[in-house]
C-alpha cells in the first residue's frame, strides 16, 4: 500500500459548459462556446452544450452521488455568462443563486468546493464588443467578474482557480483554431496569453487586498502540461526537451514564479511575445498560492537535424514551428480513446521538474484522467482500462511525493461523462457513466475503485 500524506485532498472535477446545459435558462447569456458549436463542422458529433448532462437541474442528485462515492472535494467552474449575461457590469441574481445552491449543497454533504472562474465559456458579448482575450479591456472585466464571485461566494469557497489551462485557451483557440473562438494565428496565442496572465494576476491582487484576510482562502492558476522527454541523451535533444516544456508550461509559470517569460521563448519569438512593464512583472510575480496542474500525456522530443522541419506524429503539438524541435511517439505506448499515449512516469518527471524549477511549490493536480471506450457488461460499466490508468498515474504521483515533491491534492477528470469540446459526447472521461438518452448517471467500476483509494488514502 502506498499511503498518501495526511490531509491530502482527493477530488473530482468538471466544468460548467461541459455539464450544465440550461444554456439559455434563468437569464444566462450565450458564451463563445455556444456560438462555436453553431458551426457544426467545429464539433465531431455536431453536438452542443444546450442540454449536456443537465447538471443545472440535476446538481443535487450529482452531489449526492459524489457523497456516496466518498469524494472529499469537487472542482467545478462558474459560467461567466450566467453571472454577467448581457454586459460586463450588471450581475444576474439567478446565476448567483444557482452557484449558491451548489456551494451550500456541497458543504452540507461535507464536500469542499474548488471553484474555477474561467473554464473557457467567455460571455459572447465580450467577444462581440472587443474580441475578448485579444483586448486588454478584458483585464478589467475579468476583475469585476472575479470580485463579484469572491464577494458572493468567498465566505464559503476557500479554494479559487482563476483560469483553467491558458495553453489550451491560447494555442487551440487562437493558434490552431480548433477550440472557440476558432482563430488561426502565429501571433494571437502570445498576445492573448499575456492578457490572461495579467487578468489572473489582477484578480489575485483583488482577492488578496479585499477578501483573503477575512475569508482565509487560497487562490492560484491551473495550467496544463504534457511531459516532454528527450529522445536521446545528446545535448541538443536534452535541450530541445527542456525548451518544449518551457514553451508549454514555463510560458505561464515563469512569469508567476520568476517574473518574466523564459529566455528560450524570447529568443525565438522576439517581439511576437509581448513584454511586461516592471510594474506588471511585480503584479504577476508571486500571484499564486499553489501550482494547479492538469496532466494527460507524454511525448518524446528531438532537436531538428536540418532535413526535416515538422513533427513526426506527436500529440498536442502546440505552436511547434516556433520551437525548433520535433515530437516523436513510441509506437509501443498504449493510448487512450483520445489517442493520447499512457505514460505514467511522465507525470512523475513533470512533477519533479516543477518542484525543481519553481523551488518546491505546493502542487495540486487539478485534472488527470482518460477517455476510454467503456465496456457495458450486464448493465455495469466495466472500465478496467480506466482503473489501470488511474492506478498507474496515482502511483507515479506517490513516487514524486516520496522524492520530496509537495503534491497536496489530486482531482480525477471527470466526475461524469460530458461534452468533450471539439470531440463532442463520444469521448468519455467520466468515472460515472451518463446515458445521454435518459441522462441517468451510473458509477463505473473506476468510481468504486477510486472510492476505495480515497477511504484508505492510499493506492
Ligand atoms: C482539458 N490538449 O482540456 C480540460 O481542462 C477539460 O475541460 C477537458 O475535458 C480535459 O482536459 C480532457 O480533454 C484539454 O490538446 C484539451 O493538449 C486539450 C488538450 C489538453 C487539455
Q: What is the DSSP letter of 365?
A: E
Q: 313 pLDDT exceeds 80?
A: no
On average, the pLDDT of the chain sits at 97
375 pLDDT band (50/70/90 cuts)? Answer: confident
For residue 120, the ligand 1 atom closest to its alpha carbon is: 7
Task: Read off the C-alpha cell for 263.
Answer: 529566455
Q: Is 385 in the pocket of ligand 1 (CB under 6 A)?
A: no
Q: CA angle 169-170-173, nearest 5°?
A: 70
Task: Pick the closest to residue 12 from 64, 69, 58, 52 (CA basis).
Answer: 69
Q: CA-CA distance, 433 to 440, in Å (whole number)?
A: 8
CATH homologous superfamily of 9-456 equals Glycosidases (3.20.20.80)
Question: Which of 102-106, 147-151, 311-315 is predicted least confidently?
Answer: 311-315
| Catalytic (active-site) positions | 165, 367
How close is the Cα of 128 to the center of ligand 1, in Å? 25
Q: CA-CA distance, 116 to 211, in Å (whole number)?
A: 17
Strands 380-382 and 218-224 come out as unpaired
Q: 27 pLDDT exceeds 70?
A: yes
Percentage of residues in the chain having pLDDT higher than 90: 96
Residues 272-277 have a mean pLDDT of 98
Q: How far is CA 369 from the centre of its chain?
A: 12
Q: 312 pLDDT exceeds 70?
A: no
Residue 68 confidence (pLDDT)? 98
pTM score > 0.85 for this model? Answer: yes
Percentage of residues in the chain having pLDDT higher than 70: 98
For residue 369, the ligand 1 atom closest to its alpha carbon is: 12
Residue 316 confidence (pLDDT)? 77
Q: Where are the domains of the chain?
A: 9-456
Helix axes 137-153, 188-210, angle to 10 degrees: 40
Q: Is 199 in the pocket of ligand 1 (CB under 6 A)?
A: no
Q: Is 254 in the pocket of ligand 1 (CB under 6 A)?
A: no
Q: CA-CA distance, 55 to 64, in Å (whole number)?
A: 12
- For residue range 412-440, list pLDDT tens digits in order: 999 999 999 999 999 999 999 999 999 99
Residue 239 confidence (pLDDT)? 98
Q: Is 224 in the pocket of ligand 1 (CB under 6 A)?
A: yes
For the chain, helix, strand, coil in percent to 5 are: 45, 20, 40
Residue 305 confidence (pLDDT)? 84
Residue 318 confidence (pLDDT)? 82
How close is the Cα of 168 to the center of ligand 1, in Å? 7
306 pLDDT band (50/70/90 cuts)? Answer: confident
Q: Is 170 in the pocket of ligand 1 (CB under 6 A)?
A: no
Residue 309 confidence (pLDDT)? 54
Q: CA-CA distance, 95 to 56, in Å (whole number)?
A: 11
Residue 13 confidence (pLDDT)? 99
* Test site for ligand 1: of 19, 367, 371, 422, most ligand atoms within 8 A of the Cβ: 367
Residues 310-322 have a mean pLDDT of 74
Residue 182 confidence (pLDDT)? 98
Q: 311 pLDDT exceeds 80?
A: no
Q: Is 15 in the pocket of ligand 1 (CB under 6 A)?
A: yes
- For residue range 208-257, list pLDDT tens digits in order: 999 999 999 999 999 999 999 999 999 999 999 999 999 999 999 999 99
Ligand 1 atom 7: residue of nearest CA: 15
Q: CA-CA distance, 308 to 52, in Å (whole number)?
A: 43
Residues 174-193 have a mean pLDDT of 97
Q: How far is CA 437 from the centre of its chain?
A: 28
Residue 247 confidence (pLDDT)? 98
Amino acid at each position: 500500500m502506498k499511503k498518501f500524506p495526511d490531509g491530502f485532498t482527493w477530488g473530482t472535477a468538471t466544468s460548467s459548459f461541459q455539464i450544465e446545459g440550461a444554456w439559455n435558462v434563468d437569464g444566462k447569456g450565450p458564451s463563445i462556446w455556444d456560438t462555436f458549436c453553431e458551426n457544426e463542422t467545429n464539433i465531431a458529433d455536431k453536438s452542443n452544450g444546450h442540454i449536456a448532462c443537465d447538471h443545472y437541474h440535476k446538481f443535487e442528485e450529482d452531489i449526492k452521488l459524489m457523497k456516496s462515492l466518498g469524494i472529499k472535494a469537487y472542482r467545478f467552474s462558474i459560467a461567466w455568462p450566467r453571472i454577467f449575461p448581457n454586459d460586463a457590469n450588471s450581475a444576474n441574481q439567478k446565476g448567483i443563486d444557482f452557484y449558491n445552491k451548489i456551494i451550500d449543497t456541497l458543504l452540507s454533504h461535507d464536500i469542499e468546493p474548488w471553484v474555477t472562474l474561467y473554464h473557457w465559456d467567455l460571455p459572447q458579448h465580450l467577444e462581440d464588443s472587443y474580441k475578448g482575450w485579444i483586448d486588454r479591456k478584458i483585464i478589467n472585466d475579468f476583475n469585476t467578474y472575479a470580485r463579484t464571485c469572491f464577494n458572493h461566494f468567498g465566505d464559503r469557497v476557500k479554494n479559487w482557480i482563476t483560469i483553467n489551462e491558458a495553453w489550451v485557451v491560447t494555442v487551440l483557440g487562437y493558434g490552431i483554431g480548433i477550440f472557440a473562438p476558432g482563430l488561426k494565428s502565429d501571433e494571437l496565442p502570445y498576445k492573448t496569453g499575456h492578457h490572461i496572465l495579467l487578468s489572473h494576476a489582477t484578480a489575485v491582487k483583488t482577492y488578496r487586498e479585499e477578501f483573503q484576510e477575512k475569508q482565509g482562502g487560497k487562490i492560484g492558476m491551473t495550467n496544463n502540461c504534457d511531459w516532454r522527454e528527450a529522445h536521446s541523451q545528446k545535448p541538443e535533444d536534452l535541450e530541445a526537451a527542456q525548451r518544449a516544456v518551457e514553451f508549454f508550461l514555463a510560458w505561464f509559470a515563469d512569469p508567476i514564479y520568476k517574473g518574466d517569460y523564459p529566455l528560450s521563448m524570447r529568443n525565438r519569438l522576439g517581439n511576437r511575445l509581448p513584454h511586461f512593464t516592471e510594474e506588471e512583472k511585480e503584479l504577476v510575480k508571486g500571484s499564486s498560492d499553489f501550482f494547479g496542474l492538469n496532466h494527460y500525456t507524454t511525448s518524446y522530443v528531438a532537436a531538428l537535424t536540418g532535413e526535416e522541419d515538422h513533427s513526426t506524429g506527436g500529440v498536442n503539438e502546440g505552436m511547434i514551428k516556433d520551437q525548433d524541435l520535433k515530437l516523436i511517439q513510441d509506437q509501443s505506448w498504449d493510448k487512450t480513446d483520445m489517442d493520447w499515449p499512457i505514460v505514467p512516469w511522465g507525470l512523475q518527471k513533470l512533477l519533479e521538474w516543477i518542484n525543481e524549477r519553481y523551488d518546491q511549490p505546493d502542487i495540486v493536480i487539478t485534472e488527470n484522467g482518460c477517455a476510454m471506450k467503456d465496456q457495458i457488461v450486464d448493465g455495469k460499466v466495466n472500465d478496467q482500462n480506466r482503473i489501470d490508468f488511474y492506478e498507474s498515474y496515482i502511483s507515479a504521483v506517490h513516487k514524486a511525493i516520496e522524492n520530496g515533491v509537495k503534491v497536496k491534492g489530486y482531482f480525477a477528470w471527470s466526475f461524469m461523462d460530458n461534452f468533450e469540446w471539439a470531440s463532442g459526447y463520444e469521448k468519455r472521461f467520466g468515472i460515472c457513466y451518463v446515458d445521454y438518452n435518459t441522462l441517468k448517471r451510473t458509477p463505473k467500476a473506476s468510481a468504486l475503485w477510486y472510492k476505495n483509494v480515497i477511504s484508505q488514502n492510499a493506492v
